[in-house]
Amino acid sequence: MSKFEVLLPVLGALLSGFFALTIVPAAEGSEPPVKAELHSDVLDFTNETIDDLSLHFTLTNNGTVPFSPKLSDSQLIIDGKALPQSGLILGNGPRDASFESLPPGQKLQFVYGLGHYFRTPGKHQVYWEGKGFKSAPISINVRMENSTWKTIAEGKWAKVSTERKLYRRAEKADNEHFFVHIKIENTSGKSIGFDHPKRANVFYPNQWAESTIPRRMAISEMRAIQDQISDSERKKLLANEKLEKIAAGKTFDYFITFNAGTYKKIEELKCPYMILVMDGHVALTDGKDVEVVCRPMQDSSKAEVPLATPVKIEVLAKDARVLFDD
C-alpha cells in the first residue's frame, strides 16, 4: 500500500470535518449573542408631560462567554441622529460588575429619565446601539396640549379641573389679587354633596412660578397635609343637611383668589410659562358614604397648570361664585 493510499482516509476525514463546520447555518429564530431592548411604559405624551418619560434599557447575554457592554461607546439614536454625548449620559449612571463584564445568561438593566430630549411635538423614533448590539426602535408621540381645562385631581365620584386662564376684579377693586376658576364635576351617576367652611376644604392656588418649560424647573413648595378626614369629620359631613349639592353629571364651579400676589405682576412675566400650582381636597358624600378627592402628597406635577404667557386675565362676571375672597 502506498503512502498516498494511507493518507487518503485521514485527509478525507479532515476535509469532511472542515466542510461540516463551515456549511451548517445558524438555526432560524435563534437569539443573537447579545440582545438589546429599549422600552417605555408610556409612549404617548403632551408637551406638558414629556418630562415624565423614562426609558428602560436592557442587555441580555445569550452567548457562552462574558460580554463587555462598553456603555460609554453606545448611542441613543433619535429620529436618525445620535443624541450628542449619549455615551457619556449612558455610561455614567449607577453601575455594578455587570456594566464592565456581563456573564453568559444574565441581564443588565437600567432606567434613565430622558424626556428633556423629546420636547419637540410629533412622533419620534428612537433606538439604542453599541458595539455588538442594537435594539428595535420604539415610537414616542408628543402632542401639544391645547385643552381649556386641566384635570388636577380625580376620584371615583368626581374630578376637579382648573381653567387655563386667570381673572381679576374690575379696575376699582380694593386689591389686585387674581382669581382662579375651578370646577368639580360629578361623575358618579348619583347626587353628591360637600361642605366648604374654610379654604382648606376646597382646591385653591398654592403657588405660582415662572418657567421656560411647561413644568416647574425647581420645586420649593410648602403644603398642608392632605390626609383622609377624621371619623368625627366624616360623621359631621354625613349628618349635615345643608351641603352644597351636585347633581349627577353636573358641575359646581367657583372662583378663588391667590392672596399672595397680584395680577399686574403676572402681566409683567417674561418667561414663556407661568406655572400655577393647585392644592387642597374636597370631601364628598352621597349620604351613605364619603370619598375624599385630593392632590396626593407625593404629587409634584399633576396639579401644575401651565399658562402660556402673556397670560389671559379677564374681568370676573358680576354673578361669578367667589369663595374666600381674602
Task: Give the model's confidence band at 4: pLDDT under 50 very low, under 70 low, under 90 confident, else very high.
Answer: very low
Higher pLDDT, 284 or 15: 284
Task: Give the model's confidence band at 31: pLDDT under 50 very low, under 70 low, under 90 confident, else very high.
Answer: low
Higher pLDDT, 29 or 260: 260
126 vs 194: CA distance, rounded Å: 48
* Residue 38, CA atoms < 13 Å, CB-side half-sphere: 26
Higher pLDDT, 10 or 211: 211
The predicted-structure confidence for 175-207, as pLDDT tens digits, reads as follows: 788 999 999 999 999 999 999 988 888 999 988
Q: Per the structure block, which three cell numbers stand in for 80?
A: 436618525
Is 60 exceeded by the pLDDT of residue 16? no
What CATH class is the domain 34-143?
A: mainly beta
According to the model, what pLDDT value does residue 288 have?
94
The predicted-structure confidence for 125-162, as pLDDT tens digits, reads as follows: 999 999 999 999 999 999 988 889 999 999 999 999 99
State the DSSP code for 201: G
Q: Do 36 and 108 form a contact (C-beta atoms < 8 A)?
A: no
The predicted-structure confidence for 292-315, as pLDDT tens digits, reads as follows: 998 877 777 788 999 999 998 999
Average pLDDT over residues 21-47: 72
According to the model, what pLDDT value does residue 70 have?
92
248 vs 191: CA distance, rounded Å: 5
The predicted-structure confidence for 215-263, as pLDDT tens digits, reads as follows: 887 777 777 776 678 888 899 999 998 899 999 999 999 999 987 778 8
* Number of residues that this document lists for the chain: 326
Is 50 exceeded by the pLDDT of residue 7? no
According to the model, what pLDDT value does residue 133 have?
95
**Picking from 5-14, 71-80, 89-98, which range would have the lowest pLDDT averaged per residue?**
5-14
Question: In this structure, which amino acid lies at residue 151?
Answer: T
Domain ranges in the chain are 34-143, 149-323
According to the model, what pLDDT value does residue 296 have?
79
Is 60 exceeded by the pLDDT of residue 6? no
Q: Do 86 and 74 form a contact (C-beta atoms < 8 A)?
A: yes
| Interstrand relation of 44-46 and 138-143 (parallel, antiparallel or unpaired) | parallel
Task: Give the model's confidence band at 172: pLDDT under 50 very low, under 70 low, under 90 confident, else very high.
Answer: low
Q: What is the pTM of this model?
A: 0.71
* Three-state secondary structure string covering 115-176: HHHHCCCEEEEEEEEECCEECCCEEEEEECCCCCEEEEEECCCEEEEEEEEEEECCCCCCCC
Is 50 exceeded by the pLDDT of residue 3? no
At 157, phi and psi to the nearest 5?
-105, -25
According to the model, what pLDDT value does residue 96 have?
82
| Interstrand relation of 322-323 and 251-262 (parallel, antiparallel or unpaired) | parallel
Q: Do 160 and 182 form a contact (C-beta atoms < 8 A)?
A: yes
According to the model, what pLDDT value does residue 105 have?
94
315 vs 326: CA distance, rounded Å: 17
According to the model, what pLDDT value does residue 13 have?
44
According to the model, what pLDDT value does residue 11 have?
43
According to the model, what pLDDT value does residue 25 have?
39
According to the model, what pLDDT value does residue 30 have?
57
Is 90 exceeded by the pLDDT of residue 44? yes
The predicted-structure confidence for 87-134, as pLDDT tens digits, reads as follows: 888 888 667 888 889 999 999 999 999 998 998 899 999 999 999 999
The alpha helices in the chain, defined as continuous H runs, are: 3-23, 86-91, 231-239, 263-267
Q: Is the dihedral of CA 39, 123, 213, 299 positive or negative?
A: negative
